[in-house]
Amino acid sequence: MLRALLLYLSKATWARRLLTRWRVTRRVADRFVAGDTLDDAVRVTRELNARGLLVTLDHLGEFTTNPDEARQATDDLIRLAETIQQEDLKAGISLKLTQLGLALDEALATEHLARILEVTEPKGIFVRIDMEDSPWVDATLRIYDTMRERGYRLLGVVIQAYLYRSEQDLRRLARIPARVRLVKGAYKEPPEVAYPKKRDVDANFDRLTRLLLDTALAAGAPPVSADGRVPPIPAIATHDENRIAYAEEYAAHIGLPKPALEFQMLFGVRRDLQERLAGEGYPVRIYVPYGTEWYPYFMRRLAERPANLVFFLRALVRG
């Protein structure tokens, strides 16, 4: 109920206007966001790299509704790729196709992504296409296939365990085999397309983890690249200790080496767990968002954990 309300507010223009006007919203959001600028992103990435953690950078923005903004977002991502190279960061890029204009025109978003990959691929920088709400899943997977057909290889996708369709999608992606980030899913979805109950999502997450780890083993267990930029086939992205323990146990059971299994977490969430897993020898990648368009990202983080909302409300009362 509360989750549904917060996810509704994450998309409501009136709520965005109201909440972003309050300085306290920004203060709480800072826990999850590196800052407004590319310099902030570089600084945070350096700090994380120094602690043995890898990074994927998200230049915040989604659901672009005009072509100029989509072009601007593409230019910004190209600048990000150049900066990763110049600053020698152990980082890749995460992006959203609606940021590149998918809601306006699929062909436009496809060409924008191709422009980005023309720059990232020769530099050895990996790009992950985040997965958005269910109406975009088909187009997202289609654009991924198009880029593979055009010869791009340093590109990955995301599969959401809450969707009924995900096992089928993952089986098809396993034939490539695609580099896949597995998540539970962050959006408000109807029961026609997604498991409404958390325990069903968790069970599906473990089932998809097995499938993904088996795929990695069958492909010869490619490890994370030596420069830390290109992830292995499976990226298990969760802060749920039971899901993580399950993946660790299953990998040990089938004999998948640690460098062939990446864990991913969000900036500002469970730093202790991030460091423990990195200390055990797994690649651990932190999803670091930056930029001024932080509102919907922040609201999804509130929706994931009631304690975050309580923290926000307390800050609001204190002023």
Ligand X SMILES: Cc1cc2nc3c(=O)[nH]c(=O)nc-3n(C[C@H](O)[C@H](O)[C@H](O)COP(=O)(O)OP(=O)(O)OC[C@H]3O[C@@H](n4cnc5c(N)ncnc54)[C@H](O)[C@@H]3O)c2cc1C
Binding site for ligand X (CB under 6 A): 130-131, 158, 160, 183-187, 237-240, 264-266, 269, 287, 301, 304-305, 308
Of the pair 46, 239, the CB lying nearest ligand X is at 239
Q: Which of 58, 130, 169, 202 is catalytic?
A: 130
CB of 18 vs ligand X, minimal distance in Å: 22
Of the pair 38, 158, the CB lying nearest ligand X is at 158
CB of 160 vs ligand X, minimal distance in Å: 5
Reported as half-sphere exposure (CB side, CA atoms, 13 A), residue 140 has a value of: 23
Of the pair 30, 118, the CB lying nearest ligand X is at 30
Residue 181 a catalytic site member: yes
Of the pair 17, 187, the CB lying nearest ligand X is at 187
Reported as half-sphere exposure (CB side, CA atoms, 13 A), residue 121 has a value of: 15
CB of 125 vs ligand X, minimal distance in Å: 17
Class of residue 178 by CB neighbours under 10 A (exposed 0-12, middle 13-18, buried 19+): buried
CB of 313 vs ligand X, minimal distance in Å: 15
The residue written with tokens 């969707």 in the block is 163
Residues 6+ positions from 313 with CB-CB distance below 8 Å: none
Residue 68 a catalytic site member: no
Calpha distance 271→305 (Å, rounded)? 16
Residues 6+ positions from 297 with CB-CB distance below 8 Å: 32, 33, 58, 60, 289
Q: Which of 128, 179, 181, 300 is catalytic?
A: 181
CB of 138 vs ligand X, minimal distance in Å: 15
Of the pair 24, 82, the CB lying nearest ligand X is at 24
Burial 105-132 (b: 16+ CB within 10 A, else e): ebebbbebbeebbebbbeeebbbbbbbb
CB of 68 vs ligand X, minimal distance in Å: 25
Of the pair 137, 174, the CB lying nearest ligand X is at 137
- Reference 235, options 270, 283, 280; nearest CA is 283
Residues annotated as part of the active site: 130, 181
